Amino acid sequence: MYDFSISSSQDAAFADTYRTLRSLADAYMRRFPNVATLQATALVHEAYLKLNGESKTFAGSDHFIRTAAMAMRQILVDHARARQCQKRGGDVERITLDGNEIAARGGVDVLLINDALQRLRQWDPRQAQIVELRCFMGLSVAETAQNLQISEATVKRDWSMARAWLEHELSAR
């Protein structure tokens, strides 16, 4: 069991946690460069505070990464909501469902995909985790399989099904 609480800034767990969070945030910022008002360091600090405030003990590094991915997604969704509320409708961030790039046009609004992801989580939690790791964190099929401790074939199958389900859900809106 890993305990990621802040007992001492010199603690090795703190340093490992910060590096992991920074790596996840950097990956997001590389994938979505249009988030100019939110910087990787701010995302790391907010996610760390969110995770630390819950005083959770994680079963391992994979569990921590999944939880951090969810925390960062929630922070980014909150950030997108705040930006959308700005004068003249804000600046809604758009992503594609292929997990590879930001969409210049015709992508999916982060807020809409978040709502659809919540519905998918009720239907199939593993598929929702796969979407979160692939779309929001930019993990490859192999990295996702390793993180969830399932086969790459299962990731590919679930990823394909989840994408089809999400595309259907989002086209109805």
pLDDT digits (tens, 9 = 90+) for 2-14: 454 444 544 676 6
| Residue 41 near residue 85, CB atoms below 8 Å | no
* H or E element that contains 95: strand 94-95
DSSP, residue by residue, 35-62 = -TTS-HHHHHHHHHHHHHHTT-EESSHH
State residue 67's pLDDT score: 82
* H or E element that contains 96: none
pLDDT class for 105, splitting at 50, 70, 90? very low
pTM over 0.85: no
For the segment 47-94, what is each residue's pLDDT rounded down to a tens digit?
878 877 766 777 777 787 788 878 887 887 787 777 766 544 545 555
State residue 103's pLDDT score: 40
| Residue 136 near residue 76, CB atoms below 8 Å | yes
Place of tokens 């990823």: 159
For the segment 155-173, what is each residue's pLDDT rounded down to a tens digit?
999 999 999 998 888 887 6
- Domain ranges in the chain are 2-171
State residue 31's pLDDT score: 66
State residue 155's pLDDT score: 96
For 119, residues 6+ apart whose C-beta sits below 8 A from its C-beta are 169
DSSP, residue by residue, 118-171 = HHHHHH-HHHHHHHIIIIIT---HHHHHHHHTS-HHHHHHHHHHHHHHHHHHHH
For the segment 124-155, what is each residue's pLDDT rounded down to a tens digit?
999 999 988 887 777 889 989 998 999 999 99
